[in-house]
Copies of this chain bind each other. A is one copy, B any other.
Amino acid sequence: METPDNATEAPASTRIADQDWATASAEPQYRAAVVDLLGALAYGELAAFERLAEDAKLAPTLADKAELAKMASAEFHHFERLTDRLTAIEVEPTGAMEPFAKALDDFHRQTAPSDWLEGLVKAYVGDSIASDFYREVAARLDSDTRSLVLAVLDDTGHGNFAVEKVRAAIEADPRLGGRLALWARRLMGEALSQAQRVVADRDALSTMLVGGVADGFDLAEVGRMFSRITEAHTKRMAALGLAA
């Protein structure tokens, strides 16, 4: 692994991606970063479950309620896959999640939807940002962790239900667009501000995100990642009829 030959042949940024968990986790900082990542994602899924289940109460019809409950249940299964993985690598899931509880709880507390449509926009925005982030971060992971993250990612996209409902509501009453656009902006702002807090607090995780562990990413790369996610969000909001 450490022959000069290998070091020159493989671009630095693909080294971890070419390793499996057993090899990559020998580096304690990489291990700590993955534990952080899985803990943050797991708590994120659990918190999303709670909020979606809560928002289901705002549903105008039984069918709508069932759809939101379905999204909530999908989030819970992501949570289970992530915590199962933590257990498999001999990490107690609760301990891995706790450092991220406050940021995610704060995010949800500060973005409690005041009605059904705000809840739908939040479900869609949350689902989409999560997908984008999973996709971005997958490239930085060893093959085993990447498989898990992509498997969880593959199962998202329940947000389409939300898109249809929101688009129909705006068509029926175009004034809604302005309020919901503001709301989507607030969601993204809160998400970024909590994400920055997490990045500042968690050394191992941030180092992995900026590619500090035997990788070629520089600090600017994290900025670019956030910016790609924000751009994708803006495009989605426009497609939804909301100027973001």
Contact = CB atoms under 8 A, between A and B. Distances in A.
Contact of A69 (B50, B56, B93, B98): B50
Interface bin, chain A: 20 to 34
Copies in the complex: 2
A97 interface: yes
B83 A76 contact: no
A49 B93 CA distance: 23
Interface in A62-115: 62-63, 65-66, 69-70, 72-73, 76-77, 79-80, 83, 93-94, 97-98, 101
Interface of A: 43, 46, 49-50, 53-54, 56-57, 61-63, 65-66, 69-70, 72-73, 76-77, 79-80, 83, 93-94, 97-98, 101
Given A46-B69, A72-B73, 19 more contacts: A43-B62, A49-B53, A49-B72, A49-B73, A50-B53, A50-B56, A50-B57, A50-B65, A50-B69, A53-B53, A61-B94, A62-B98, A63-B93, A66-B79, A66-B83, A69-B76, A69-B79, A70-B76, A73-B73
